[in-house]
Structure 1
Amino acid sequence: MGVSGKPAELLEIKPVLHDEIPVVRRFTGGGTVIVDQGTIFVTFICNQDAVPGLQPYPRPIMSWSSLIYDQVFRGIGDFRLRENDYVFGDRKFGGNAQSITKRRWLHHTSFLWDYEVRNMSYLKLPKRAPEYRLARQHSEFIWCLKDYLSRLTFIERTVNALGTHFSLKSVDSEANRDSSAVKFVPSTRLLTRQELEEAMSAADSKNSLAESISPY
């Protein structure tokens, strides 16, 4: 879930606890997504001047990213950026989140390659949803990338599209890890069972109070 996400508003906490589903609060904004083997992540981590003329603010970065994926999905489906989502027509297949600092910005996307229908039951319909969702349930709102192209083709087309904007080279992230560097303390973290139980308890108490003062 996003950095400001509230578990009681976004998750069906009781089944999440029962099935021992890990809940991660990431350091970026955005909504809550189910992550499993059917998820593909793509992240751009850029210095402020990496893209000439691009203003380091959410909407310009989002618009720029859609130009990249317009190349990736050219000739495949009805791709577009709708509000903060990547969609084919009116069905979402990619959710975005960002982090912007003084000298750098990060834009990452969780692409829905495939999903288990039953896993979507862990998510509530968010109070703040894009207008085009029209209160549709998850099964009527989201779409799988696998119905349009293979995973390998998607990766190849993404790399090729980025190659028109940047000079690329492959690196081994583990081989480039500098053990002598200053220790990194991540702000993304796993929520504890106690935190989730407290969130559920607080929500139940709030609902009970609302019911007790509701007029006839």
Structure 2
Amino acid sequence: MSVTRSAGALGAARPLMRLVTMSGVPILRQLHLEERLLRRTADNWCVINDGTAPPTIVMGVSGRVSELVEIEPVLRDRVPVVRRYSGGGTVIVDQGTVFVTFICNKSAVAGLQPFPRDIMSWSGQLYDKVFDRFGEFHLRENDYAFSHHKFGGNAQSITKNRWVHHTSFLWDYDVKNMDYLKMPKRAPEYRLARNHTDFLCRMKEYMPSRSVFTDGIITALGEQFSVQPTDLETVLSNDEEFVPSTKLLSQQDLEEIVSSKGSSSLGVQEVEA
């Protein structure tokens, strides 16, 4: 009985988490939405986007294109390259990727300090509840992994009063797309210099369906938050003045890197307001 009363008391005090679920939204549009929710609202958000098109390379704010992307094949095949507003590494995403983003006020999680390691620890504990029946789940350095194989890459952005933790989950992936990415110079120790296909795994080999995955996230969130499905149109007013920092790199940007033979002119420093 005491446990029931305690759960009820906690439930009454749970902060609100607005839930937005989408399917197939282009990753550039998703990132613009996230940045707007981060900077123009005061609510906590969970954004889930099931798949994206077309296949797109997404880089962290401080990544150097020449070090991370095979530029000539990307130009040849016209693969979009996006520089997002958050830190973290480089990924290629497509219909096989499931995106989950948490956008929270600093006070949203009791006792959580707004630092990268603390946020990763919190998220790892939350996802442990999602995956505990499906595989040997680990938070390995800054990745989500089944045993020693990565299936989730993370990035974060921390502002004065709020933070973002977003993940690209590999439900499935096209091996050919990995050829557009270079082996990063900085890699987690547990990678052990493995190539992409030896290092990664597919979630579909561990879980029965995408809906089981997303339902698990919502259930786990419900233990800490009052989760409220939200229609964005009822929340966001027109905000034509908002200019996101996430950008699609132009063909000219990429061609200039090729012509300068690896110039680092597109490398930028990560700065948060």
TM-score normalised to the size of structure 2? 0.73
Give the whole-Å Cα distance in 2 for the aligned partners of 1:91 and 1:164: 28
Give the whole-Å Cα distance in 2 for the aligned partners of 1:204 and 1:86: 31
- The one of 70, 76, 90 aligned to 2:148: 90
Give the whole-Å Cα distance in 2 for the aligned partners of 1:40 and 1:196: 27
For 1:27-176, what aligned pairs fall within 5 Å after superposition? 27-149=85-207, 150-176=209-235
The answer to which structure has the higher strand fraction is: 2
1:202 aligns with 2:260: yes
Please report how far the alpha carbon of residue 76 of structure 1 lies from its aligned counterpart in structure 2 after TM superposition.
1.3
Residue of structure 2 in register with 1:8 after alignment: 66
Aligned residues: 205
Give the whole-Å Cα distance in 1 for the aligned partners of 2:158 and 2:262: 35
- Name whichever of 18-27 and 190-199 sits farther off: 190-199
Letter paired with 1:118: K
Letter paired with 2:89: G
Gaps of 5+ in 2: 1-58, 265-273
CA RMSD in angstroms, aligned pairs only: 1.3
Residue of structure 1 in register with 2:43 after alignment: none
Give the whole-Å Cα distance in 1 for the aligned partners of 2:253 and 2:263: 15
Q: Please list the CA deviations of residues 146-193 of structure 1 after superposition, one character each: whole Å capped at 9, or x if unmatched.
A: 1111100000001000110110010112332211x4621100010011
Gaps of 5+ in 1: 207-216
Q: Please list the CA deviations of residues 14-64 of structure 1 after superposition, one character each: whole Å capped at 9, or x if unmatched.
A: 000000000000000111111111111100100010001000000000000
TM-score normalised to the size of structure 1? 0.92
Give the whole-Å Cα distance in 1 for the aligned partners of 2:127 and 2:200: 18
Q: Which runs of 4+ in 1 moved over 6 A?
A: none
Letter paired with 1:43: T
Please report how far the alpha carbon of residue 200 of structure 1 lies from its aligned counterpart in structure 2 after TM superposition.
2.1
Q: Percent identity?
A: 62
Q: Please list the CA deviations of residues 84-128 of structure 1 after superposition, one character each: whole Å capped at 9, or x if unmatched.
A: 000001100000000001100010000011111101100000001
